[in-house]
Amino acid sequence: MIDLHTHSMLSDGLLIPSELVRRAEVQGYKVLGITDHVDRSNIDFVIPRIKTVCEDLSRKSNIKVIAGIELTHIPPQDFLELVQYARTQGIALIVGHGETLAEPVIKGTNKAAIEAGVDILAHPGLITLEDAKLAAEKEVFLEISARKGHCLGNGNVAKIALQAGAKLILNTDTHAPEDLITINMASSIAQGAGLEADNIDEVLLKNPQGLVSRLTGVF
């Protein structure tokens, strides 16, 4: 299992990074991205801490741990500046908190995040074909979400991504221990989004491996 969207107590998760990594390791995870929520108020606080702990845990555990952030509920016009800032601070994995059906995300966030060059657009809800084509062009991965509420848009995300030629990836958006899932459950979630067997293999294996390789050189 490769999961590139999880949260620790550095934002609103229930677990410190060490416990989150250990629980993921026991579940059979191979790669874990810890992507705590940030905006202008805490980005300078979270980045050095998430980098330090992820580098340490990656050396001392049996899974690859990637330090990341999730730009969350920020004004769309702030995406480019904050993405660029995070890159200069050594953050390889940047998630944009997309226009989920479960929260009042500002309209235009999907497009702004894609244009700014996030790596993953999380739970993009009723993403348009135009924005999905832009994601394909910019090599931004669109997320199929295992999280309650955010998963309501999975069917649309899968359908539109396939039409646009955009790459899909499945993540848990873990906040609590019970949010971590097995590869079999991930496969069922992808199937529930309307994906066929060949697409499921891409979403669960080929695409996340490709992204991890792009970010870290692993795979």
32 backbone dihedrals φ, ψ, rounded to 5°: -130, 125
The per-residue pLDDT string of the chain (219 residues; one tens digit each, 9 = 90 and over) reads 999 999 999 999 999 999 999 999 999 999 999 999 999 999 999 999 999 999 999 999 999 999 999 999 999 999 999 999 999 999 999 999 999 999 999 999 999 999 999 999 999 999 999 999 999 999 999 999 999 999 999 999 999 999 999 999 999 999 999 999 999 999 999 999 999 999 999 999 999 999 999 999 887
111 near 137, Cβ under 8 Å? no
Q: In angstroms, rounded to a whole number, what is the distance separating the alpha carbons of residues 7 and 89? A: 19
β partners of residue 6: 34, 174
**What strands lie across the sheet with 168-171, from one edge to the other?**
2-6, 31-38, 64-71, 93-97, 120-122, 141-145, 168-171
**8 Å CB contact between 46 and 36:** yes
Look at residues 150, 135, 156 and name the one whose alpha carbon lies nearest to residue 211. Answer: 135
- Give the largest Cα separation in the chain, rounded: 43
Phi, psi of 137 (to 5 degrees): -65, -40
Question: 75: domain CATH number?
Answer: 3.20.20.140
The percent of the chain in helix, strand and coil, each rounded to the nearest 5, is 50, 20, 35
How many domains is the chain built from? 1
pLDDT at residue 219, as a whole number: 76
Domain containing 159: what range?
2-216
**Helices 129-138 and 109-116 sit at what angle, rounded to 10 degrees?**
10
User: Which residues lie across from 168 on neighbouring strands?
Assistant: 142
